[in-house]
Amino acid sequence: METLVVDASMGAGGDMLVGALLDLGADPAPLAATGAALGVVYADSRVDRNGISATRVDVLDADDGTPIEGHGPHRSVAAVTEIIDTLALPGTLRQTAGGVVTRLATAEATIHDTDPEEVVFHEVGADDAIADIVGVLQLLDSLDVEQVLIPPLAVGGGRREMAHGRYPIPAPAVTEIIASSGLQITGGPVDAELLTPTAAAILAEIGSPIEQLPTVDVVGVGYGAGAREFPAEANVLRVLGGSVAAPLRRERICVLETNVDDVSPEVLGGLQERLTAVGAHDVSILPLTMKKSRPGHLIQVIAPPEAAGHLAAALARETGTLGVRERTQAHRSVADRRFTTVQLTVGGSDHEVVIKEAMTADGAPLTASVEYASAAAVAAACDRPTAEIIARALGRYYEVSPEAR
């Protein structure tokens, strides 16, 4: 399933996301092992919400079968992360789950003017919240979704009782998570809290914002039910699975960054080759001013998520940096590409020059460029300027491939 569109026009909770993905056809098998490790059970059932049949998921205590929503010990960020690290998860899912927890901790730390490491989770640290975070990621993984698109999220309205008194909706944690994510929110359609911090953090970590529903070739629809019922609104989260027509191919990437102020130019110059050999798609090095007005550099690496660990280790080894920032659920839109050659006659002899062609996902031509190393080799052999060989090769390419213009 290439694309998942999350229609949260009645908000979203972690339980609603789990239910919607199960309703869409996600494989429930991984949930059993996760539930056993956490001492909980994912209990799903069919319910009716204002005429819409949906899947309702409750997280129950494995011993007595009672719902555990919001119940459980208050846990630090480190404690929640340690629990997630004990679960049998693929590396990329564990990293994404950690990213969700980090978003929640950063939001709470911002609100209370403290450090994320000092945050103590209340409801978010409970077993059912951890089960929701991990469960959503496991179900999503079973569907082989390449991209998650998220139109504006409904947050509800009115005011709610919080630990520090009454406060208007959306809750401060939701506001902070949305503000740092690029996702959009909208009020209503009822005066109640519709978007939970856990769901907001999950969607911020896995999804990309869109302003309105794109053209989707829908292959499946899933509905996840919320716990409450409203007289005039169906309290369900809808997910649409299918494909979206797009000129460029989308792929998951991770972005690694680190700042350095004590690395020699020779080492920086060799990073492109070293990191590419470990799996990097691209390496950029930008000058910047660091603490105490010291000149330094920002090293940014774009890579497939599965190479993140090796690349972070390589960055630390090569530069001596003490920390590498990582964003694991970014996406990029890329053109497909292929290589061809053109024949040039220079100084009475024939030479081949390599051309890189870029095209849309359906094969329509976009651009063409001359591979510099190939042109430079011909220029050296013929004692001609490289710029001349590049210009002649590109002209020859468009002569033999007029459809690429």
Q: Tell me, what's the pLDDT at 138?
A: 98
DSSP 212: S
Q: Where does CATH 3.10.20.300 sit in the chain? A: 336-404
**What is d(CA 92, CA 395) in angstroms, rounded to the nearest whole number?**
45
Token pair for 400: 């033999």
Label residue 327 by pLDDT band (50, 70, 90): confident
pLDDT at 248 over 80: no
Structure token digits, residue 121: 């989770």
Examine the pLDDT at 282 and tell me if it is beyond 80: yes
Q: Which pLDDT score is estimated for 72?
A: 67
Give the percent of the chain with pLDDT over 90.
74
- In the predicted structure, residue 331 carries a pLDDT above the cut 80: no
**Averaged pLDDT score across all residues of the chain:** 92
Question: Is 336-404 assigned to CATH 3.10.20.300?
Answer: yes
**Integer CA distances (angstroms), 29 to 22, 25, 34, 127, 175, in order:** 11, 12, 9, 19, 34
Q: How confident is the model at residue 25 (pLDDT cuts 50, 70, 90)?
A: very high
Above pLDDT 70, what percent of the chain? 96
Q: What is the mean pLDDT of residues 251-266?
A: 90
pLDDT tens-digit readout, 134-171? 999 999 999 999 889 999 999 999 998 877 788 999 99
Query: How confident is residue 71, by pLDDT bands cut at 50, 70 and 90?
Result: low
Residues of the chain with CATH 3.30.70.1380: 251-334
DSSP string, 112-154: HTS-GGG-EESGGGSHHHHHHHHHHHHHHHHTT-SEEEE-PEE
Instruction: Provide the 10 A C-beta neighbour count for residue 120.
Output: 16
Q: In what order do the strands lie in the sheet with 236-244?
A: 40-49, 52-61, 216-225, 236-244, 3-7, 147-150, 208-209
Residue 336 is encoded by which pair of tokens? 């497909």
The pLDDT of residue 401: 87
Segment 288-311, tens digit of pLDDT: 999 888 899 999 999 988 888 899
Q: Note the pLDDT of residue 393.
A: 95
Superfamily of domain 251-334: Transcriptional regulatory protein pf0864 domain like (3.30.70.1380)
* pLDDT value of position 153: 97
Average pLDDT of span 356-379: 90
Give the model confidence (pLDDT) of 102-144 as tens digits: 999 999 999 999 999 899 887 766 889 999 999 999 999 999 9
Is the separation of the CB atoms in 97 and 198 below 8 Å?
Answer: no
